[in-house]
Structure formats: structure tokens, C-alpha cells
Structure 1
Amino acid sequence: MPATLPIDRDPILRAPRRRRLWWSLPLIGLIALTASLCLHASIGDYANSAQFVDGKFRNTTPKPANVPEPSAKVMWDFFFNKPKNTEPHAPVPVHTLTRAELDAAPDRSLYRLGHSTILLKLRGHWWLTDPVFSERASPVQWAGPKRFHAPPIAIDELPPIRGVLLSHDHYGHLDHAAIQALAGKVEVFLAPLGVGDRLAEWGVPKDKIRQFDWWQGADIAGLRLTFTPAQHFSGRGVRDGNRTLWGSWVIDDGQRRVFFSGDSGYFDGFAEIGRRFGPFDLTLMETGAYNVQWRYVHMQPEETVRAHQDLRGGWLLPIHNGTFDLSMHPWFEPFERVLALGDEHGIGIATPIMGERIDIDAPHAGERWWQSVVAESAAR
């Protein structure tokens, strides 16, 4: 059985939401002020990129007129009227990984460490996607979305990492503290245009950083890695929106192909990626933190499955869920919805416990581990 790690919640966060209102307003103001200071003036000029227009990156598909803008009410409800079930109220099961276990892992092993952080062993080397190990996905560590569970392994216990694949610079995908801790352990950071500039400013040696536009790639350690489009946005402060690029990754070891979605709304780019690089043995697809008001940049589960089909995917492993409270839906809902859709369309859905090994050659469905957490939460 996996180890169960307790959720150490601040007493303040247990307080009734109405009683929290009075001190939440200045807290939000402080977070916003901190974020506003996160503009990095050293981000380069990428005018040679077709995606870079008037000093900012843009999506290929304009936002449809019938897609609603996130309203003030949505933001108000997000901070002050969230349902109780947007986060678990019982411990989330985690398989605690050890260095010895990873050293003994066969090739084409995959471990989900949380949110969109995936550890893969391919051709004898270890790779990480969007490494986030901090307690909060936030510009500060004293407020903001807090982890439901601890990472299955600490950074200092990881084996040497051949490379880190980054999809974009939002806090749930680019963790300043994790990048600094990984800098000496990682051989190369593969980043979207502009995101590599952030890494350099954080102290990562420039000779370890490679930056990519859409459809660009590299051959490293027996892998063909290609940075592919997504429909999203970027920024870490209120003044640096879309100064850096966002995207997805195709990971090809010559025999198996894995797709890592990063964050994206549904768009015809998935079909184009499928035509160029598919079929995929496994897709790691954003399935969570969605809302109908931001479907242009985050997929609903039905769109996740459609994108998987466009990619000509085999197995689907839903990510971007189960670690942080980033929307208004029940925290377990993404799993239930995508599994129902998988049954409907005959798609294998892998839902491993955090830290559980998945064999890329032969994925397995995994347990419906969240159901016991929901049941225990209801019994408390």
C-alpha cells in the first residue's frame, strides 16, 4: 500500500469563509503587489518569431467572440465563495519514492509527482516536465494555492536529470525554488522563448539553457524533442503578460512517442501535431482547473478527450489535477469525468497514485484512489 502523507493545513485556512473575508482583501493586495514586481526586463526581443507581435506572443487562433471573458464575479467567487469540495479534507495517498527505487527502475518508466510534474526514464536518462516542488503555486510561500500532498520524492533525492522540459512560466509550472535547487543536478533546460531568459536571471548557467519556438526541436541523448503549439498565455506578474511563449512537447525515443500538453484550450493545433508526429503511445493531457469562462485557455474534459483523439493517442494520463485548488469544480471531478469519457470512447485512461510507476510500453489503468479520499472526507 502507498504511504499516506498528511495534509498540514494552516488553522487560518480552516476558518469559515465569511470570517476570512476581512483579512483576505489586504492579503490579496499583497500577493498582487508581489506579482507586479515579477516583471523581468531582461526578457529578449523575439521579433523573428511568427508568434511575436507588437512585443508580445499570441495564439494562432483568435479568441472567439462567443467565449465569455472571466468576470469579476468569477474572481470574487474564486476567493470568497468556493465550495468546500474544491480541495480534499482527508489525506491524499502518495507512493513515497526512494533513490534506490529509481536507480532500479527499467527504461520507459514514468512517475507522476504532482500537478504537471512528470519524471520519465528514457534511454537510460531521467527527464522532468514542469517541475513544481514548492508548497504553494504562488509568487509567495505564505499565501496562495497550497499542495494537497507532499511530492513523492525531494529534489535532493532525485537522480541526475538529463533534461527539464518547460511548457510555460505560470507558477503552477515554473517553480523558482525548484529551478534553483535543480540547477546543479540538471544538464539542460529546454524552455519556450523568453522562459529561458527567466532561468538565466535566476542563476541557471546560460550554457545549460536552450530556448525554442513552436515546431523547433533538438536531438538529445537518443531522444527527439520537439516544442509544439498550445493555446494559452503567459506571465508571472501584472505587467509581463505574454512576454514569454507557451507550448507543448513531443517526446520520441525512436520507438515510443509521448505527448506532454502543458496547458491549453482546445484548438486545431492538436490535429496538426497528430498529423506531423502521431500516433502517440501515451498522452499526458491537461484535465483539471477548468471553467467554462476560461475554456479558450483551459480544456474541459470533453475537449481533453477530443484533443487526445486528434493527436491519435493510445493511452491518456490526465494531469493538471489532484495537487492544487485552482478552480471552482470539485477536486476529484476531472478524474470522474475523463474516466466516463474514456469508457464511452474506448480510450485507456491511466490514473496512477502520485509516485506510482507507469510502464510506457504497457500502461495500466490504476486505482480510483480519489474515491476513498472523498469517502473519508465526507465521514469527517
Structure 2
Amino acid sequence: MAFVCTACTPVSKPEYPDSDHFAAAHFFNPEQPESQVGGLWAALNIFWDFTFNKPKDAAPSTSPRVLSLTRDALLALPDNQFVRLGHSTLLFKLNQRFWLTDPVFAERVSPISWAGPKRFHASPIELNDLPEIEAVIISHDHYDHLDKAAIAALAPKTKHFIVPLGVGELLQAWGVAASQVVELDWHESREIEGVRLTATPAQHFSGRSLTDKNARLWASWVIKTPAVSLFFSGDTGYFEGFKRIGERYGPFDVTFVETGAYDPRWADIHMLPEQSVQAHLDLGGRWMMPIHNGTFDLAMHAWTEPFERVLQAATDQGVTVTTPMMGEAVAILTPHRGSPWWCELTPKLAAELR
């Protein structure tokens, strides 16, 4: 099998003098500039665990069931709906147009095509079957959030790519027209067809190779229309910024909050489930939708654990959670609780979901 490297993209060093979280050719987290996941020894320990200490239940024994979608079914959806396609890939229907977050349809999330974390399930819909997309909204450049092949396939049917600073240059290197790209810093907004998209802070990092660490910004997103208010976390550790986002932009009808691929060793850049629930509360969310789980094996926990822990934490805190199947449509203003599609839960939590 031939070696195929998808990371070999030239990296320039643009400057962003107006950004207060950019210095010395790199973006940084103002509240916690240095990640705890640092240093060669820590990296080697994590690599050793991933290689030799993976729990057997980090991936499902069989592919989870998904609900298949067609273009016609999506076109027939009522307005103000969302569908989870996998991991952090969500399709929204707002103002009779479609909006897609962090599109990843690849078999693996890796700089090489034949190795790396492999998806647990097929996408509910093939890329070519998606309807015309008004905007693709990207949180950051990591492989499990930004799929080069998906961008190439989406470019002809997408009007806009809304991205954090620096990511636009990468998309243009991949063939996306400059006229399609809108780059935003934190707290900058763009209104498109009655939908206002605002980049908001997150506590994370970026990079697709050894040479471009933190060269591009990462962000969460506030998505608002006159009818609905949504928050999409991207990837982030828990930080005080959630409270400020809630105060400035909330409340939210639904928060789509990262809950998966976590570990206490890197909790500053990927929240633990209990922190995800607290972030939802800080934001002033009405319903919570856990994302960043159920599709790829990216940590040391059982693949079902994010659902179980977040549901228990939500029950303890009085938070209402929706857990739809992949491919299942949900009305934003009248969500349903979903079902424990990933496994049998304890009777208490199963009752909470019904």
C-alpha cells in the first residue's frame, strides 16, 4: 500500500497584530497559555498507554446502528432542526438553508490514509448526497474536525466556509476559493442569510504537523437566528470563558458541548464529562447535546463512558440532555431526550432518557 501524507501543505507565518491572543507567530490561550500535555516524557507516557494499555472496550465490538439519510429527506425536514452525522459533525437546517459543522467523513482521522483512529460507523449520508450547503463552520484544524477530502468534495456545493484566523489560508491551499472563505477572530461575527455566526473563545490548540503548532486559531461558535440560539463548543478544556460567553451571548436553546476523548492528563484542553455539564450551566443552556464521542477512539476510556458519565452528571445537576442516534433529526425548540442507543444503561439512567 502506498504511503499517502495528507499533512504536506506549505505553512506560511502570517501575523495577526490586532489579536490579543497571538504573539511570536503563534496563538495562545490567555487563561492558561501552556497545556499540561507538554514535554517529551508526558508524550511518551501517553504514547505507551495508547499502544500497550488500551482497554478492550475503547471501541465497540460491532458498528453502532445509524439512521440512513437521503438528500430528499433532508430537503423535506422542517426548519430549525439538526442532525448529528458523527463525532462533531452536525447538520443544521436554519432559515431553510443547511449549515454544517466540522465536516469529517474520512475512514480515519490521521495524517496518513492507512493508519490512525478508524471510525466506528458509516456516515448516515454520503458526502455526494448532501444538499447545497450555505456555510461550513470549522472550529479548528485537527484531523478529527477538518477533513481535507471532505473540504474538496464540499467546496463546489458550499457558498461559505466560516473559520478561525489562519484556517482560511489552509483551505485556500487545498483549492477553496478565497471568495468563499470568511476568517474570524474571537468575538467577531458575520451574518449570512439571517444567521449570525460569532467566533468565541475556546481553550485548546491547533496544528496538523510538527511544523505548524498553534499557527491557526481555534474557536467555539455562537449560531443565532431570530428564532433560535445555539452554542457549538468545538474542542476545549473547561475555563471561565464559558461564563462570559453565556453572559454576552446566551441563553441558548441547545448547547453542543464536547464530551469525549478526555483524560485527567489533558483535561485542560478536553473537558471531563462533569465539566461539560458545568460548561452548559455556565452558558445558560436549555438542552445539552454531548458531541465529540461515539465515532472515533481517541482516548483511554470505554467508548460508551462519555454518555454514561455525562448523563449521570446531568441528572445530578438537573440538566436536560438529548442523545439522538446518528442520523436522527431533532427539533431545536422542542428536542426529545433520545435513547441509550450505544448500550444498555442502568435502570435509573434509562428511565431518565425515556
- 1: CA distance, partners of 2:258 / 2:78: 26
**Which amino acid counterpart does residue 262 of structure 1 have in structure 2?**
G
Which one of the candidate residues 62, 75, 94 is aligned to 1:90?
62
Matched, 1:262 2:231: no
Q: Which residue of 2 aligns with 1:190?
A: 162
For the structure 1 residues 64 and 160, does the alpha-carbon distance in structure 2 shift closer, same or farther, using more than 3 Å as the test? closer
- 1: CA distance, partners of 2:257 / 2:250: 15
Matched, 1:358 2:353: no
Q: TM-score, normalised by structure 1?
A: 0.87
- 1: CA distance, partners of 2:174 / 2:52: 34
- 2: CA distance, partners of 1:60 / 1:264: 13
1:295-334 matches, within 5 Å, as 295-334=267-306
Is 1:43–1:197's contact at 8 Å kept on the other side of the alignment? no
Q: Per-residue CA shift, 1:175-207, capped at 9, x if unaligned?
A: 000000000010000011000100000000110
- 2: CA distance, partners of 1:42 / 1:360: 40
RMSD: 1.8
- 2: CA distance, partners of 1:239 / 1:134: 23
Q: Per-residue CA shift, 1:45-78, capped at 9, x if unaligned?
A: 223211110110000112589x564442221111
Matched, 1:212 2:179: no
- 2: CA distance, partners of 1:288 / 1:239: 27
Matched, 1:347 2:319: yes
Q: Per-residue CA shift, 1:11-53, capped at 9, x if unaligned?
A: xxxxxxxxxxxxxxxxxxx89xx57x63532352223211110
Q: Which residue of 2 aligns with 1:278?
A: 250
Q: Which residue of 2 aligns with 1:53?
A: 23
For the structure 1 residues 319 and 304, does the alpha-carbon distance in structure 2 shift closer, same or farther, using more than 3 Å as the test? same
Is 2:232–2:255's contact at 8 Å kept on the other side of the alignment? yes
1:148-159 matches, within 5 Å, as 148-159=120-131
Q: Which residue of 1 aligns with 2:45?
A: 73
Deviation at 1:91, TM superposition (A): 2.2
Is 1:47–1:55's contact at 8 Å kept on the other side of the alignment? no
Q: Which residue of 2 aligns with 1:100?
A: 72
Which one of the candidate residues 90, 102, 117 is aligned to 1:145?
117
- 2: CA distance, partners of 1:119 / 1:248: 16
Gaps of at least 5 residues in structure 1 are: 1-29, 374-380
- 2: CA distance, partners of 1:120 / 1:175: 19
Q: Per-residue CA shift, 1:329-378, capped at 9, x if unaligned?
A: 000000000011111111111111100011101111111011159xxxxx
Q: Per-residue CA shift, 1:231-271, capped at 9, x if unaligned?
A: 00000001110000001000001121010000000011110
Q: Per-residue CA shift, 1:277-324, capped at 9, x if unaligned?
A: 110000000000001110110000011011100000110000000000
Gaps of at least 5 residues in structure 2 are: 346-354
For the structure 1 residues 108 and 55, does the alpha-carbon distance in structure 2 shift closer, same or farther, using more than 3 Å as the test? same
**Which amino acid counterpart does residue 187 of structure 2 have in structure 1?**
W
Matched, 1:40 2:10: yes
Q: TM-score, normalised by structure 2?
A: 0.93
Is 1:43–1:198's contact at 8 Å kept on the other side of the alignment? no
**SS state at 1:92 partner:** coil
Is 1:111–1:356's contact at 8 Å kept on the other side of the alignment? yes
The answer to which of 77-86 and 165-174 deviates more is: 77-86
**SS state at 1:47 partner:** coil
Matched, 1:130 2:102: yes
Which one of the candidate residues 149, 167, 189 is aligned to 1:177?
149
**Which amino acid counterpart does residue 42 of structure 1 have in structure 2?**
S
Q: Per-residue CA shift, 1:79-119, capped at 9, x if unaligned?
A: 23211110000220100001111111000110000000000
Is 1:39–1:237's contact at 8 Å kept on the other side of the alignment? no
Which one of the candidate residues 125, 132, 140 is aligned to 1:160?
132
The answer to which of 161-170 and 336-345 deviates more is: 336-345
**SS state at 2:156 partner:** coil
**Which amino acid counterpart does residue 79 of structure 1 have in structure 2?**
T
- 2: CA distance, partners of 1:48 / 1:128: 28
Is 2:9–2:173's contact at 8 Å kept on the other side of the alignment? no
Deviation at 1:210, TM superposition (A): 0.5
- 2: CA distance, partners of 1:314 / 1:217: 23
Q: Give the share of equivalent positions with the same residue, in percent.
A: 51
For the structure 1 residues 269 and 247, does the alpha-carbon distance in structure 2 shift closer, same or farther, using more than 3 Å as the test? same
Deviation at 1:155, TM superposition (A): 1.1
